[in-house]
Structure 1
């Protein structure tokens, strides 16, 4: 995908349903999640406690931060539980030819 703004992340078949996977994309930690027949890309650092979201549990379109059990919406990055109040960035994903690409737009 040259010149599209999307970066190759991984082969699609390395993703497991409901299991977050952490990747580094140009120095940005990104978690890919395959759930509900979609792949989501979300910044892999909790906005409340600065721990990896890819170590959390996935339930539908949410990922739970393992440290304080705050949930974030994988579609929007918005926190669903207080006291987390700041969203985490989400990134656009494309799947082409069995490969996953994401448009990672800088560090938060």
Structure 2
């Protein structure tokens, strides 16, 4: 599924999200989900400093820290909170319906047909 078909996409169940851990969703480009308390956040998965998965990072106080060079990003705004990154990550709107997590993706994002998420 690509283009205008993207929109709201089911990516996982709320039960699959653990506090302090990220889930990689294999869209193109990839996105990551994080649970912080009662809130669920979705950002582009790739660190803007150097290509590395933010889903593998440390999550605390509404922030994720890239494990490669320790750049930190705000999960609400995508803003850079510490170098070496200088560019923010893109943030995606999230909603929960009947225990499922849905993410609103832009038309240019590609999603595997028949399966929105292949997370680890």
- Residues 58-81 of structure 1 deviation map (CA, whole Å, 9 limit, x = unaligned): 011000000111100000111101
Aligned length: 104
Aligned to 1:18, what secondary structure does the other structure show? coil
Aligned to 2:93, what secondary structure does the other structure show? strand
- Shift of the 65–4 alpha-carbon distance from structure 1 to 2, 3 Å rule, reads closer
In the aligned structure 2, how far is the partner of 1:31 from the partner of 1:49?
16
| RMSD over aligned Cα atoms | 1.5
User: What does residue range 12-23 of structure 1 map to in structure 2 within 5 Å?
Assistant: 12-23=14-25
Q: Which runs of 4+ in 1 moved over 2 A?
A: none
Does the aligned pair in 1 maintain the 2:69–2:84 contact within 8 Å?
A: no
Gaps of 5+ in 2: 110-120
Does the aligned pair in 1 maintain the 2:11–2:103 contact within 8 Å?
A: yes
In the aligned structure 1, how far is the partner of 2:65 from the partner of 2:19?
15
> How much does 1:24 deviate?
1.7
Gaps of 5+ in 1: none
- Shift of the 82–102 alpha-carbon distance from structure 1 to 2, 3 Å rule, reads same
